[in-house]
Chain A
Amino acid sequence: MRFKFEIGCVLVLLAAFIFTQSGINRFYYFAGFAILQYVMISTAWNILGGYGGYINFGTAGFLGVGSYTAVAMIEFYSAGIVEQIIVAGIIAGVIGLSIGFFTLRLKGVYFAIATLALAIVLETFVNNWDYVGGAAGVSILPPRTPELLGIAIVDRKGGAIFNNNKEFLFFLMAFLAILSVWVARTIEKGKLGRGLNAIKDNEEAAECMGVPTLRLKLTATVISGALMGMAGAVFPSYLTFVDPPTAFNLEFAINSLAMPMIGGTFTWIGPVVGSILLGTVQQVAIVTISSELNLLIIGVLLVFFVTVAPQGIVGWFMKKNK
């Protein structure tokens, strides 16, 4: 069947919608939201890191930019969530473009180091920017009865699609996550993905064969950064409070790198598998043990997979089936 994947996407989205209507324990929304967010972030990371082989350590920076773009827009004219997501995506994309422009001509390590430093410097800027709360953080009041294209989305008293803002944001996150997976898969099957793969295998050879390496790398960086920014834009509305240490948490950086590496970086399903597995383990670990130990688990798993099983879980299964 031709649209098997697309039909699957719609079915998953439908399942997410039914989930929001089921009135289940709040904790599952929380855990589910975190996992969906990681599906989106790690898929975005994998577009450049997995297909092109250029490691981005600055996931936290791109997410933070997205979050604070949303905060600034709320402060400025109480923008709607859709506008926030779009503008956050554009700004994060532009940041990806500019840092890529400076460093993507060089060896991959320079890009990696620059992105890591970027996350820290962006945090510095926000710390010094009082309009969005500065170092103290800022509280966001979500609109009571938001509308989209004239349709009431959320109303506590009933009568709208969702009874609760959190349910709506959960659904929105599911939509964005599925959108990112679709984007990543489309890239993978297309010309961009093949070019990126050629760059990963041997950049000089690719260049000699006429692959426009810099342009492809920049395109991938912009798409990947924009998706990360969009994921970050949902954050303030969901948490109703953001401060720089939360928005620029380095935990995002290691997760977005570890999840694709553990799942498998060469295909779109790798990051999805990795983030669902690792995300679930983390949600359980945070509740039952401690959040420090949770970070330790990711670190050890990352080192284990990078050294012993670089093809990831998906690659391992594919090898077995051959």
Chain B
Amino acid sequence: MEFTELLLNALLAGIMLGGFFAALAIGLSICFGLLDTVNIAHPTIIVGAAFCTFLLNDVFGIDPIIAGILITPLFFILGLGIYSLYYQFFEKQSAEALRGLAFFFGLLFIAEVVMIMTFGVDHRLVSAPYIGNSYTAVLAGMEFAIPYRLLAAFVVASAMAIGLQLYLNKSFFGRATSAVHQDMMALSLMGVDPVMVKRVAFALGLSTCGLAGALMIIVIPIEPAVGRFFIGNVFAIVVLGGLGSISGTLIAAFILGIAESVVSTFFGPSWAPAVSFAILLGVLAFKPTGLFGSGDTR
């Protein structure tokens, strides 16, 4: 019975963790999947949002989730700025896509160093009533425990993902974003400025960093360099889900969450980072279009 109990608990924690991963990856899914801007600084920007949440919580005592909502517009504006730069220097000149990658890598380092110089390298936490306790239930003689912090992350992340999915599928702007992914020329012939659409869509993707950062500091203690360890996770999720598919991203996040949780439970948490890498390489080798993607990977 011991084994089943452990396994079921690992599965449960994995689903919760998957929700959290979805929040981290969903913005990247828009930027990378729909717009082809490979923003490898995405996890680091999330850490930046986590520090903003920390400040709001520490100084004003604001609940981290509300703080996350409050800082979201800030990250929308940041996204507008970053995309304008990116467009000006890379897309407009149709420069090699890889130079853009180097640009984002530079941004990653600048952001990390600025955070180290501002906050130091100590681990930071936030306080909220739901952090630190667990919901426990006994079912069929087995004990289940869900930490409230993971539950909060799961609920908020799911709400965010569903909202984004609806917005992208139903609204004019969301459809324009899919259109820009499929055929930029056709969109401009319809009288829509594709650059404007891309800029706003990128900013939308980056604005998810606000809430994702709040969830990150709820789930784990953070320090400036912690973003690096999520690069493998978020890209594994986006690639596994299939480029440009929000629902695919969600499912992939749950798969990765469960896989990591099971591996941590049975082999020790220090092996967890290897899971995302194995998934990433496996997908690239055998099914580069991902589970639900139709994208062009060559």
Chain A positions near chain B (C-beta within 8 angstroms): 53-55, 57, 99, 102-103, 105-110, 112-114, 116-118, 120-121, 124-125, 127-128, 200, 250, 253-254, 257-258, 261, 292-293, 295-296, 298-300, 302-303, 306-308, 310
Report the separation of the CA atoms of residues A229 and B52 in the bound assembly, to the nearest whole angstrom: 39
Cβ distance A193 to chain B, nearest Cβ, rounded Å? 18
- Comparing B105-113, B211-219, B245-253, the segment that makes contact with chain A is B105-113
Report the separation of the CA atoms of residues A43 and B89 in the bound assembly, to the nearest whole angstrom: 26
If A106-B298, A292-B116 touch, does A303 touch B99 (CB 8 Å cutoff)?
no
Which residues of A are found within 8 Å of B277, using beta-carbon distances?
A: 117-118, 120-121
Is B271 at the interface (CB under 8 A from chain A)? Answer: yes
- Beyond the given A292-B117, A293-B117, A303-B107, could you list 19 further A-B residue pairs with CB under 8 A, ordered by the A residue number? A99-B281, A103-B285, A109-B97, A112-B98, A113-B239, A113-B280, A114-B280, A118-B277, A120-B277, A121-B232, A124-B271, A250-B228, A253-B105, A296-B113, A299-B109, A299-B113, A300-B110, A306-B99, A307-B89
Q: Is the CB of B270 within 8 A of A128?
A: yes
Which residues of A are found within 8 Å of B116, using beta-carbon distances?
A: 292
Report the separation of the CA atoms of residues A113 and B288 in the bound assembly, to the nearest whole angstrom: 13
Q: Is the CB of A116 within 8 A of B270?
A: no
Say what secondary structure dominates the interface of chain A: helix
Most B CB within 10 A of own CB, among A109, A258, A308: A109
If A108-B98, A109-B97, A257-B102 touch, does A292 touch B232 (CB 8 Å cutoff)?
no
Neighbour of A116 across the interface among B40, B107, B271, CB < 8 A: B40
Report the separation of the CA atoms of residues A89 and B45 in the bound assembly, to the nearest whole angstrom: 36
Q: Is the CB of B114 within 8 A of A296?
A: yes
Which residues of A are found within 8 Å of B113, using beta-carbon distances?
A: 292-293, 295-296, 299
Report the separation of the CA atoms of residues A57 and B270 in the bound assembly, to the nearest whole angstrom: 22
Which residues of A are found within 8 Å of B174, using beta-carbon distances?
A: none
Say what secondary structure dominates the interface of chain B: helix
Q: Is the CB of B235 within 8 A of A117?
A: yes
Q: Is the CB of A127 within 8 A of B270?
A: yes
Q: Is the CB of B97 within 8 A of A108?
A: yes
* Chain B residue at minimum C-beta to C-beta distance from A113: B235
Q: Is the CB of B274 within 8 A of A124?
A: yes
Report the separation of the CA atoms of residues A295 and B231 in the bound assembly, to the nearest whole angstrom: 20
* Chain B residue at minimum C-beta to C-beta distance from A203: B298
Which residues of A are found within 8 Å of B40, using beta-carbon distances?
A: 57, 112-113, 116
Cβ distance A237 to chain B, nearest Cβ, rounded Å? 28
List the 9 closest pairs (A to B, CB-CB), nearest first.
A299-B109, A117-B232, A302-B106, A303-B106, A121-B277, A299-B110, A307-B89, A296-B113, A102-B285
Is B96 at the interface (CB under 8 A from chain A)? Answer: yes
Q: Is the CB of B109 within 8 A of A102?
A: no
Report the separation of the CA atoms of residues A253 and B108 in the bound assembly, to the nearest whole angstrom: 12
Q: Is the CB of B271 within 8 A of A306?
A: no
If A108-B98, A120-B232, A292-B113 touch, does A307 touch B103 (CB 8 Å cutoff)?
yes
Q: Is the CB of A53 within 8 A of B98?
A: yes
Which residues of B are found within 8 Å of A306, using beta-carbon distances?
A: 89, 99, 102-103, 106
* Chain B residue at minimum C-beta to C-beta distance from A119: B228
Which residues of B are found within 8 Å of A121, using beta-carbon distances?
A: 232, 273-274, 277
Cβ distance A254 to chain B, nearest Cβ, rounded Å? 5
If A102-B281, A110-B239, A296-B113 touch, does A55 touch B102 (CB 8 Å cutoff)?
yes
